[in-house]
Amino acid sequence: MKQSFLDPSDDRVLDKVLDIDIPGVGPLRKVFSREQLREKLLKAQEEVLQATPQALPVSPQRRRRTARKRLTERSRSVAARVLSDLGLGHAGYELGRLIPEARGSNNLVGAFRLINVAVNERLKIGRNEWNRPSADDNELTLDELDQIGDELKARIEQARKGKNG
């Protein structure tokens, strides 16, 4: 039995499998009883759980592109977290008033832009050189994104104190 994902404890599932019509044989129930099928499914599940995962080869280009995509997606998430931590709405414009580099965009876009600037600084790349860093560099920076977000949060808090104080 190759369907190790089926629930062997559910008699309805077993009955449905046993009702499958095999050409030249008829319903599977002619070959197996419910208990025999249950044992086969349990054995198949054991084999699947004991198997070690196989590493799939990935080309260096695909790994680099995937790492960059994850870095971009995670940067958006960190930007949203920073705004949430500071109680700033995504659609507001307070961030542009506090930090000049974020002017002209709403808070979410501004925070994302500021995080991207910090990421580019860590990767030692210019604005349009996003395809230059290696997968390792992108993955290392991905691990540092929370720290980058915390630094941005501290920078915004400092700018708030400067405006209010």
Cβ-defined contacts of 54-63 (< 8 Å, 24+): 60/135, 63/135
pLDDT value, residue 3: 53
3-state helix vs strand vs coil in the chain, percent to 5: 65, 0, 30
Share above pLDDT 90 across residues of the chain, in percent, rounded to a whole number: 52
- 34-50 and 11-18 helices, crossing angle to 10°: 110
- Give the tens place of pLDDT for each residue, 51-76: 777 788 889 889 999 999 999 999 99
pLDDT value, residue 121: 92
Q: What is the pTM of this model?
A: 0.64
> 3-class SS at 3?
coil
